[in-house]
């Protein structure tokens, strides 16, 4: 990943982790009422929205062990999403969530690769952006001004 990512926060190195990373301490919360074996749980992601919410939900639903998956935004003014996962046969929702994050990452890297290959192949139409012809505009403005001056004279 890029080097600008802060190091994962452990309890020991918390004082080294910079301001942006204190987000990580606060990022995911397990809402009360989860099953003891975590077969059903609601995760609360702070500072997230439909961008991650919907795509993560899609990837979790692709897991055959998942019985239910849905996300909601409790209030549009607060940047939080609630992601509910319920599993078949006592499987772990945490595991399904982690797998989905990995799959989403590999999906994105596959798209990146395919795009890059396509860009290198160079088989597409290249065109020039239309540029404003300033001289033509200036000339027309001058003509208009002359015409208006003549009209004024003829009226006067």
Partner 1 sequence: MAPRTKKVDDMDLDPSPSTSSRAQIVASSSASEPVDKRRLVEILPERVGSVASTDFPNHYPGELHEWDLERFRSNLKVAITRLSSGQCEFDLVGVDASVANAIRRVLMSEVPTVAIEHVYVWNNTSIIQDEVLSHRLGLVPLKIDPDRITMRNPGDDADDQNTVVFNLKQKCERNPKAAKGETDPEKLYIGSNVYSSALVWDPKGDQEEDLADCPPRPVHDDILLAKLRPGQELELELHCEKGIGKDHAKFSPVATATYRLLPHIQILKPIPPHLCEKFRKCFPEGVIGIRGGEGEQEVYVKDARRDTVSREVLRYPEFEGHVKLGRVRDHFLFDLETSGIIAPEKLLPTAIKVLREKIAILKSGLDHMERAKGLTGAGDE
CA dist 110 and 105 (Å) reads 9
C-beta closer to partner 1: residue 86 or 92: 92
Polymer length of the chain: 156
The CB-of-36 to partner 1 minimum distance in angstroms stands at 6
Is there binding between residue 31 and partner 1 (CB under 8 A)? Answer: no
The CB-of-57 to partner 1 minimum distance in angstroms stands at 7
Is there binding between residue 86 and partner 1 (CB under 8 A)? Answer: no
The CB-of-74 to partner 1 minimum distance in angstroms stands at 18
* Residue 130, CA distances (Å) to 127, 133, 138 in order: 9, 9, 17
The set of residues, in sequence order, having a beta carbon less than 8 Å from that of 31 and lying 6+ positions away, is: 41, 42, 43, 44, 82
The set of residues, in sequence order, having a beta carbon less than 8 Å from that of 43 and lying 6+ positions away, is: 28, 29, 30, 31, 82, 83, 84, 85, 97
Is there binding between residue 93 and partner 1 (CB under 8 A)? Answer: no
Q: Site for partner 1 (CB under 8 A): how many residues?
A: 66
Is there binding between residue 133 and partner 1 (CB under 8 A)? Answer: no
Nearest Cα to 100, choosing from 62, 53, 45?
Answer: 62
Is there binding between residue 151 and partner 1 (CB under 8 A)? Answer: no
**Site residues for partner 1 per CB under 8 A:** 1-2, 4-5, 8-11, 18-20, 23-30, 36-38, 45, 48-52, 54-55, 57-59, 61-64, 66, 92, 94, 97-98, 101, 103-112, 114-119, 123-129
């Amino acid at each position: 990943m890029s080097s600008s990512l802060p190091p994962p926060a452990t309890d020991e190195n918390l004082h080294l982790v910079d301001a942006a990373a204190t987000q990580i301490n606060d990022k995911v919360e397990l809402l009360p009422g989860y099953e003891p074996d975590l077969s059903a749980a609601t995760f609360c992601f702070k500072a997230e929205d439909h961008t991650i919410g919907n795509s993560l939900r899609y990837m979790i639903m692709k897991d055959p062990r998942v019985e239910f998956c849905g996300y909601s935004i409790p209030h549009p003014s607060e940047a939080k999403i609630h992601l509910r996962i319920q599993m078949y046969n006592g499987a772990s929702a945490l595991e399904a969530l982690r797998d989905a994050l990995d799959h989403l990452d590999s999906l994105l890297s596959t798209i990146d690769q395919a795009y890059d290959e396509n860009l290198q192949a160079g088989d597409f139409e290249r065109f020039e952006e239309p540029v404003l012809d300033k001289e033509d505009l200036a000339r027309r403005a001058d003509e208009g001004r002359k015409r208006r001056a003549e009209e004024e004279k003829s009226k006067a």
